[in-house]
Structure 1
Amino acid sequence: MLSLLPILFALLMRKRGGFYYRSLVSTTCMGAMTVYGMVASLTLPLIGKAGLVNWSVARLYYHLCGFLLAITTTIEGKEHLDRTKGPAVYVCNHQSSMDILLMASVFPKSTSVVAKKQIKYYPFLGWYMTLSNAIFLDRKNRDSAIKEARQAAEDIHRKKTSVWLFPEGTRGRPLDIDMLPFKKGAFYMAVQAKVPIIPIVISNYQNIYNSKTKRFGHGNVKIKVLPPVSTEHVQEDSAAIDQLANKVRNQMLEVLRDISPRLH
């Protein structure tokens, strides 16, 4: 009976608890999924299911943590994921650490993530990401980042895997319904691989989570998947890449402002 008390307490606190309690729940769930991810990365490829490693980690994290925190998502445009044949580059806006939970609800199969190089050296998380073939970019070194993006473009076809990244490079402007300028790595990668870019927009969720004001509530967050953007005829020169990045950013920003609740 005593062993059931933590479970009953967690169920009771789904829509209660303060910032630190709910942050602890999120961190605990992420830790558990990191351990599962390392095991999955070592075992699923042995049975020909390598494409399910990150997808299964994401889904488990979303359903477990989302349930315990009473946070859900409503996804619009999911058909653009279902209809996409072959690899793609997924780009998503970035607001806070809460994005990991929200993106998990829509994360596709056979997809790797792109992260800053420093994460590679984090205990457990870095180990899992390394085992799951994450792509680490040195964003402080432009030449290195372009070189790594080119290698990633080759891997997209060789491993038949898609890539997910946050083109803002860092957390954006959570107090504004806005996005930072996009870094170009994702777009070089997509153009070199000649695969479509699929923009994914997470609405502003300051009404639910804000680390600066220590707000951590519950509720539903809208996510919209935009139609694929072809890179088939885009040149690899800097001007063409800039134009592509700005086009995608403008589309995403328009959607972000449309689906986000008004800030007060």
Structure 2
Amino acid sequence: MPEQGRLTKSTGLTRFHWAAWVVFPVVLSALLRKRGGFYYRQTAQLAAMAICALYGVFASLTLPIIGKTHLINWSVARLYYHMTGYLTGLTATIEGKEHLNPKRSAIYVANHQSNMDVLFMASVFPKATSVVAKKALKYYPFLGWFMTLSKAIFLDRKNRESAVKEAKQAAQDIHNKKTSVWLFPEGTRGFADKLDLLPFKKGAFYMAVQARVPIVPIVIANYNHLYDSKAKRFNPGNVKIKVLPPVETNEIDESSESIDKLAIQVREKMLMTLKEISIPNPQLLTTPPSLSTTTSSSSS
């Protein structure tokens, strides 16, 4: 009898132990999602990214078997947005969804402020779309595995010849496989504390013209008042995202001058929209107009 009693007690403690592991994180996240500070939210979003990357590996291996390859990146994005949004209290309001047409190939270009752009990108990410990323991400555990399996396009920014080759191959895939591509034409994180954009690199525009597909600009409002890694600021809140009408490329030739003009045109539209949808803040300064109309001569 004593042994049986100890066994029953032990079983009860084990059940409680496992129940605590399941319930405690849920209760903690519910309490902290709008009260937790910078380090809690930063940890929560990194944990969510790791979980979604693992799911992405699974999705990349299984969805093609049932003919749902076009849902790999989309399903990972949706999972990441809802999971991270719940844990951190960050959400997005999207305007212009009618310009997202998964049945038509396109080059989606968005402004780049910080690593939190992945969250806002996930809120609006279209089906049948791949991403363009720097080659270094390919070697990240979990995330790199998922991106490799999901056919992400990795560009080596230090090797222009390799980057151009990859961009041309991507253009062929867009045309032949009827897929779309998402990238950040600034090439790196831009101004987080200013209502401005870095000069656009031309790789996205060459890609669109070569594939004869439209460019769909997507503008994420400045969210420096909610997130700033340097200031250790990470607050819950809502961020506006606006999808602009497609910019057609059928009549544009592949000359450098035409590509430059296209890049400037798209950048100006996006910069104007950024100023329109961002929350007015005296700390967000705009650089002189002379710097706003220059574009980079780099092609990737």
Specify the TM-score bucket, using the shorter chain as the normaliser: over 0.9
Shift of 1:30: 0.2
What residue in structure 2 maps to residue 14 of structure 1?
Answer: 33
Q: Under a length normalisation based on structure 1, what TM-score does the superposition of the two structures give?
A: 0.97
SS at match of 1:230: coil
What residue in structure 1 maps to residue 73 of structure 2?
Answer: 54
* Matching residue's letter, 1:96: S
**Contact kept in structure 2, 1:87 and 1:160, CA below 8 Å:** yes
What residue in structure 1 maps to residue 233 of structure 2?
Answer: 215
Where do 5+ consecutive residues of structure 2 fail to align?
1-18, 283-300
| Alpha-carbon separation, structure 1, partners of 2:258 and 2:214 | 15
Q: 1:200 aligns with which of 218, 233, 251?
A: 218
* Matching residue's letter, 2:237: G
What residue in structure 2 maps to residue 161 of structure 1?
Answer: 179
| Alpha-carbon separation, structure 1, partners of 2:125 and 2:249 | 22
1:184 aligns with 2:202: yes
- Of residues 157-166 and 135-144 in structure 1, the stretch that sits farther from structure 2 once superposed is 135-144
* Matching residue's letter, 1:149: A
Percent identity for Structure 1 against Structure 2: 65
What residue in structure 2 maps to residue 45 of structure 1?
Answer: 64
Decide which structure has the larger Cα Rg and report it.
Answer: 2
| Alpha-carbon separation, structure 1, partners of 2:46 and 2:103 | 35
Q: 1:35 aligns with which of 44, 49, 54?
A: 54
The root-mean-square deviation of aligned C-alpha atoms, in Å, is 1.0
SS at match of 1:136: strand
Matches within 5 A, 1:33-112: 33-82=52-101, 85-112=103-130
Where do 5+ consecutive residues of structure 1 fail to align?
none
**Which consecutive aligned stretches of 4+ in structure 1 deviate over 3 angstroms post-superposition?**
none
Shift of 1:146: 1.7
Residues 85 and 51 of structure 1: CA distance in aligned 2, closer, same or farther (over 3 Å)? closer
Shift of 1:148: 1.2
Shift of 1:85: 4.0
Matches within 5 A, 1:113-152: 113-152=131-170
Shift of 1:145: 1.6
What residue in structure 2 maps to residue 173 of structure 1?
Answer: 191
**Contact kept in structure 2, 1:111 and 1:164, CA below 8 Å:** yes
Shift of 1:144: 2.2
SS at match of 1:181: coil
